[in-house]
């Protein structure tokens, strides 16, 4: 207690109304007197908040340090399973966060929604706090209970700097939640033009579908604005694609957004639309799973043509998960090493969309399971998706279980952080190690 007296006896005037008031206003003198009178410093309120939870809402280093020295638990959870670090992050309190992390606060603790402090930091848009958490070991690709990762939460911040920082730290724009919504789906739902434009400049896969077969264009038709629709169109997003209810983006706009509907009607009636989006006809047929048309029209000379947006027909077949068309295009000489102008392979696209039957076919035809794209192996991507069957297929085909990424981190360490016990056991059986 002598050290505590020396440090904090003169912080505050002791005139606070009560202990909560003292904590909220950094009145350490009052807190010390309260403690010395035998009051319970480990008290919890009806919401399960400790005094340290309350202190973490404010950015006062002294009272936080005092409460920790008096025995408050740095990782105490309230009724919502929030720790003091959750609350300090929620209120953008950098100094409090630094102190809590120094005292071994768990940066990967999850509340009842599966939300970590990093999710919160990403949504708040404070890069300094994000960096503090990452440096303390926060898991970049940690998922909440709906599968959303910090990069999805970053859309809420409305800041490209936040997304850029997460990407430079190793996050991916094709990371999806449990509904298979990507960051672009989120940005369209948020109606954020500048985020949509930023994502489109850096995203290498378009027309990515969620479990309801909705692309970002479906979301933009409902939630977005004309400029977002225009940007998506300029990057090759399809107006003809149908969701699980057989609705196109135009149908969605007709029901929900009259302004967007009028704009899209003008687009589809123009001559440029046919030239850019409906031609070449074999690409349109691949998009629409029109096998009979492809059977009649595809030959060795046109099977590898690029459309206006730099995609080959087989790219669209893979995005649709259509093995029958993939096999047919391959039989006609489709190049499976490069399927678009971003030099992405057929296997990489198939891994993105988790099309197991197509992946097995491509491996059978000689696709390289150990190809590295932007410093990441296909097995790394499968592990982050936490897809056991996908990992198993790649491992059994000879994927390197001891690959080191561009951060010199073993792939097995990602499995420990993000994958199921069954994936970890599979990798161990294949002699995966941390070094």
Please say if the pLDDT value at position 275 is more than 90: no
CATH number of 1-106: 1.25.40.20
CA–CA gap between residue 77 and residue 67 (Å, rounded): 15
Question: How is residue 372 annotated by DSSP?
Answer: E
CA–CA gap between residue 207 and residue 186 (Å, rounded): 14
Please say if the pLDDT value at position 2 is more than 80: no
Contacts of 282 (CB under 8 A, 6+ apart): 293, 294, 297, 298, 302, 303, 305, 313
* Per-residue confidence (pLDDT) for residue 406, from 0 to 100: 80
CA–CA gap between residue 393 and residue 385 (Å, rounded): 14
**Selection from 275, 367, 277 nearest residue 318 by Cα:** 367
Structure tokens that stand for 38 in this block? 């035998």
* Per-residue confidence (pLDDT) for residue 8, from 0 to 100: 87
* Per-residue confidence (pLDDT) for residue 405, from 0 to 100: 86
pLDDT digits (tens, 9 = 90+) for 33-55: 999 999 999 999 999 999 999 99
Q: What percentage of residues in the chain have a pLDDT greater than 70?
A: 100
CA–CA gap between residue 224 and residue 263 (Å, rounded): 12
pLDDT digits (tens, 9 = 90+) for 72-92: 999 999 999 999 999 999 999
* Per-residue confidence (pLDDT) for residue 4, from 0 to 100: 78
- 182 pLDDT band (50/70/90 cuts)? very high
Q: Looking up tokens 């994958």, which residue turns up?
A: 419
Please say if the pLDDT value at position 249 is more than 80: yes
Please say if the pLDDT value at position 435 is more than 80: no
If you average pLDDT over residues 254-269, what whole number do you get? 97
- 276 pLDDT band (50/70/90 cuts)? confident
CA dihedral sign, ordered 193, 196, 197, 198: positive
If you average pLDDT over residues 99-128, what whole number do you get? 97
Are the C-beta atoms of 427 and 415 separated by less than 8 Å?
Answer: yes
Instruction: Tell me the helices (H) and strands (E) count for the chain, helix number first.
Output: 28, 2
pLDDT digits (tens, 9 = 90+) for 207-236: 999 999 999 999 999 999 999 999 999 999
pLDDT digits (tens, 9 = 90+) for 320-334: 999 999 999 999 999
**Selection from 186, 106, 177 nearest residue 144 by Cα:** 177
- 180 pLDDT band (50/70/90 cuts)? very high
CA–CA gap between residue 303 and residue 26 (Å, rounded): 71
Topology given in CATH for the domain delimited by 369-435? 1.25.40
- 272 pLDDT band (50/70/90 cuts)? confident
Residues of the chain with CATH 1.25.40.20: 1-106, 281-366, 369-435
* Per-residue confidence (pLDDT) for residue 210, from 0 to 100: 96
Q: Which CATH class is domain 281-366?
A: mainly alpha
Please say if the pLDDT value at position 59 is more than 90: no
Are the C-beta atoms of 140 and 171 separated by less than 8 Å?
Answer: yes
pLDDT digits (tens, 9 = 90+) for 139-167: 999 999 999 999 999 999 999 999 999 99
Classified as helix, coil or strand, 340 is strand
**What are the respective helix, strand and coil percentages of the chain, to the nearest 5?**
50, 0, 45
Please say if the pLDDT value at position 257 is more than 80: yes
* Per-residue confidence (pLDDT) for residue 326, from 0 to 100: 98
* Per-residue confidence (pLDDT) for residue 374, from 0 to 100: 87
């Amino acid at each position: 207690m002598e050290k505590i007296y020396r440090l904090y006896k003169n912080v505050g005037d002791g005139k606070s109304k009560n202990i909560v008031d003292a904590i909220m206003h950094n009145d350490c003198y009052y807190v010390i007197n309260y403690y010395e009178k035998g009051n319970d410093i480990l008290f919890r309120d009806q919401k399960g908040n400790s005094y340290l939870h309350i202190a973490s809402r404010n950015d006062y280093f002294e009272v936080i340090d005092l409460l920790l020295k008096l025995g408050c638990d740095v990782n105490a959870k309230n009724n919502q399973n929030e720790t003091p670090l959750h609350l300090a992050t929620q209120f953008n309190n950098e100094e409090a966060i630094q102190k809590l992390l120094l005292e071994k606060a768990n940066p990967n603790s999850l509340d009842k929604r599966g939300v970590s402090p990093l999710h919160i930091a990403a949504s708040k848009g404070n890069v300094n706090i994000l960096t503090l958490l990452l440096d303390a070991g926060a898991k970049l690709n940690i998922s909440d209970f709906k599968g959303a990762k910090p990069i999805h939460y970053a859309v809420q911040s409305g800041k490209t700097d936040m997304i850029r920082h997460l990407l430079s730290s190793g996050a991916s724009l094709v990371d999806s939640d449990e509904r298979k919504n990507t960051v672009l789906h989120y940005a369209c739902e948020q109606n954020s033009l500048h985020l949509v434009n930023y994502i489109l400049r850096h995203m290498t896969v378009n027309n990515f579908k969620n479990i309801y077969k909705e692309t970002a264009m479906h979301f933009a038709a409902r939630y977005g604005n004309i400029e977002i629709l225009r940007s998506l169109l300029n990057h090759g997003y399809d107006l003809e694609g149908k969701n699980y209810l057989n609705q196109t983006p135009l149908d969605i706009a007709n029901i929900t957004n009259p302004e967007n509907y009028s704009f899209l009607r003008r687009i589809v009636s123009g001559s440029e639309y046919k030239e850019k989006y409906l031609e070449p006809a074999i690409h349109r047929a691949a998009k629409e799973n029109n096998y009979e048309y492809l059977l009649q029209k595809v030959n060795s000379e046109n099977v590898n043509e690029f459309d206006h947006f730099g995609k080959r027909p087989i790219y669209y077949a893979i995005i649709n998960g259509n093995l029958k068309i993939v096999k047919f295009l391959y039989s006609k000489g489709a190049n499976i090493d490069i399927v678009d102008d971003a030099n992405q392979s057929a296997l990489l696209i198939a891994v993105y969309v988790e099309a197991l039957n197509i992946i097995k076919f491509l491996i059978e035809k000689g696709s390289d399971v150990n190809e590295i794209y932007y410093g990441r192996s296909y097995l790394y991507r499968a592990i982050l998706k936490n897809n056991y069957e996908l990992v198993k297929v790649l491992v059994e085909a000879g994927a390197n279980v001891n690959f080191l990424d561009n951060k010199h981190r073993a792939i097995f360490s990602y499995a420990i952080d993000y994958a199921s016990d069954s994936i970890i056991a599979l990798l161990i059986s294949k002699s995966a190690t941390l070094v």
